[in-house]
Amino acid sequence: MSTKLQYVPDYDICAEEKELLMFLLGQPERVQSLVVLRSFAIIEQQALAALLPFALPILKHAYLACAVWLKSLQYGTGEEVARNAGVLFASPAMSTLRTLSVTTEQDATLCLALGNTLAFFVYSSIGYGVADICHYCISAVSPIITSTPPSLPLESWKSFLELLEVMECLTHRRSPTPRALQQLQERVDRKLGLCLPLLPHFQDLCIISHSLSNETDASCIARIHAQLDKIYTAVDEWIPSHARQILDHFDSTELVHLLAQAKVYRLAALLVAHRLRHDFGSEDDKADVWSNEVMRELELTKHMTKQPLRFVTLPFIVAAIEVRGTEARVSTLQAVKDYVDGFAPVIQRATTTFLSRIWHERDITTTARWFDSISKPCVVLHSIDTALCS
């Protein structure tokens, strides 16, 4: 990292800011929270650092907000103090994002690097407002990605934003940002591992959920259900790529994590599709099977590798909603700390609250589907915080 910072004029950053940037980009383990596998940390760090010498004014504040939060997690400093300090950096970063012109692939890369780090800070420390960042960045870069095959760093940052948006859209039955029509490359994503091809199916499920929430015409509902059946079949038949040129790069522990992550996302997609068609109390046995398989896979992977899976918040919550029985629910709440993003304690607390409320509403039959819960929100809360945008 010192090699990168030597090209940054001293007058552009103060000593405190330089120290924070060196913390973020100085050692790969500092950014392990941003990737699904430890071996991806150095790639993520290099991708972020490579942009800094020529884009410091654009990226500085978002990087600093991210660094403040990661440093607080490592050293156990106060969550509120870190959040407040990070917001001071995130506010000008938000202004920069709003004014950034995106006309070339280099512009798109900067937009996604800025949006990715800013979204990470907002999601991790505040817990709401991230959907607007995701929508803005995805919309801004889509024309570029449609016309030019995206680079790997660009596509990985975009997939993270799309994942965060999907969680928001599933919770609130909204449609996600229209995705660019592009062929996904055969690769292992730094966040979604082998299951990147499942992301478009989750986006389609969001669209179907939104359509069903506003449709009353029986013939239209039948057509939507037919589309749902096609998605269900595609997900049910999907298997991750096992191309040797990809998987030979990972050790046995990493392969276990990649395959387990792919399995739980596939099961979660099936479970979401199931609940879009069947209310609580209908076809519960099938939902129970998928839920139990997700939980078993998570626990088995943790037991085998001595490490919990990362980036499985969505499948964990989708499966946890189906848990019944007092003891099973207590165990599920205890598992939140392992399978809901460890870098985001505010999300862990929100998940615990959400699950407790959904279970109660289900038990007293005040809600038929978790998407329609009277207790909103789930993981991502509201639109962007006014103070952060100012």
Please check the confidence at residue 217 and state whether its pLDDT lies above 80.
yes
Query: What's the number of domains the chain is made of?
Result: 1
pLDDT at 111: 95
pTM tops 0.85, yes or no: yes
**Residue-number span of the structural domain to which 40 is assigned:** 2-389
Which range scores top for mean pLDDT: 121-135, 137-151, 152-166, 259-273? 259-273
Q: Report the alpha-carbon angle 135-42-4, nearest 5.
A: 90
Per-residue model confidence as pLDDT tens digits over 55-90: 999 999 999 999 999 999 988 888 999 999 999 999
**Percentage above 90 pLDDT, the chain:** 70
Question: pLDDT tens, 18-35?
Answer: 999 999 998 888 998 899
**Structure-model confidence comparison of residues 128 and 58, the more confident one:** 58
pLDDT score for 326? 96
pLDDT at 179: 78
Q: What is the pLDDT of residue 15?
A: 87
Query: pLDDT digit string (tens) for 147-189?
Result: 665 566 678 899 999 999 999 999 889 999 987 665 556 678 9
pLDDT at position 222 over 60: yes
